[in-house]
Chain A
Amino acid sequence: MDPVSKVSDYRKLEESVTLSTVEGPLGASGSDGASTELFTLNMGPHHPATHGVLRLLVTLEGEVVRDLKPIIGYLHTGIEKTAETKSYWKVIPVIERMDYLAYFFNSMAYCGAVETLLEVEVPKRAQYLRVIHMELNRIMSHLVWLGTAALDLGAMSMFWYCFRERETILDLFEQSTGQRMHTRYFQIGGVIEDIPVGFAAKLKYLTDEMPRRITQYEALLTKNEIVLQRLRNVGVVDEKTLLGLGVTGPLLRATGNPWDLRKAAPYCSYDDFDFKIPVGTVGDNYDRYRVRTAEMRESVKIIEQAMEGLPEGPHITEDRKIALPPRHELATSMEALIHHFKLVTEGFRVPAGEAYHPIESPRGELGCFVRSDGSSKPARVHMRDPSFVNLQSLSTMVEGSYIADLIATLAMLDPIIGGVDR
Chain B
Amino acid sequence: MGLDFTVVPKFFDVIFIGVGWTVAITIAAGLLSFFGGIVFAVVALYGPLLVRLPFRLFAWLFMGTPLLLQLFLIYFGLIQIGIDLPAFVAGVVGLGLHFAVYNSELIQASILAVDKGQNEAARTLGLSRGQALRKVVIPQAVRAVIPPIGNNMIALLKDSALVSVIGVAELTLAAQQAIGRTFRPFEFYVTAAVCYYFINLALEAGLRRIERHIQLSR
Q: Do A and B bind each other?
A: no
Interface residues in chain A, defined as those with a beta carbon under 8 Å from any beta carbon in chain B? none
Interface residues in chain B, defined as those with a beta carbon under 8 Å from any beta carbon in chain A? none
